[in-house]
Amino acid sequence: MDNLLEIRKLNKSIGSLQLLDINLSLEPGYIMGLIGRNGAGKTSLIKTILRLYQKDSGDIYVNGYNMETEEKEAKNEIGFVLDESLFEDNLSIEANGRLFGSLYSRYDHSLYLQFCERFGLLPKQKAGKLSKGQKNRFQLAFALSHDAKLFLMDEPAAGLDPLFRRELLGYMQDIVESGKRSILFSTHLTNDLDQIGDYIILLDEGSICLELDKEELGDRFYIASGTREQIEHTFGPNVICRLYEPYKSSLLIEFPKDGQLKGLAVTRPSLEDLMYYLSKGGFIK
Ligand X SMILES: Nc1ncnc2c1ncn2[C@@H]1O[C@H](COP(=O)(O)OP(=O)(O)OP(=O)(O)O)[C@@H](O)[C@H]1O
Smaller CB separation from ligand X, 18 or 260: 18
Smaller CB separation from ligand X, 38 or 69: 38
Q: How far is the CB of 44 from ligand X (least distance, A)?
A: 3
* Residue nearest ligand X (C-beta atom): 15
Q: How far is CA 81 from CA 23, 128, 161, 242, 284, in A?
A: 22, 15, 16, 39, 27
Binding residues for ligand X, rule: CB under 6 A, are: 14-17, 36, 38-44
- Measured distance CA(80)–CA(100) in Å, rounded: 13
- Measured distance CA(29)–CA(27) in Å, rounded: 6
Q: How far is the CB of 231 from ligand X (least distance, A)?
A: 32
- Measured distance CA(172)–CA(177) in Å, rounded: 9
- Bridge partner residues of 22 (DSSP): 10
Smaller CB separation from ligand X, 16 or 178: 16
- Measured distance CA(27)–CA(227) in Å, rounded: 44
Smaller CB separation from ligand X, 38 or 54: 38
Smaller CB separation from ligand X, 82 or 168: 82
Q: How far is the CB of 15 from ligand X (least distance, A)?
A: 2
Q: How far is the CB of 211 from ligand X (least distance, A)?
A: 17
Give 3-state DSSP helix, strand, coil % of the chain, rounded to 5.
35, 30, 40
Q: How far is the CB of 149 from ligand X (least distance, A)?
A: 24
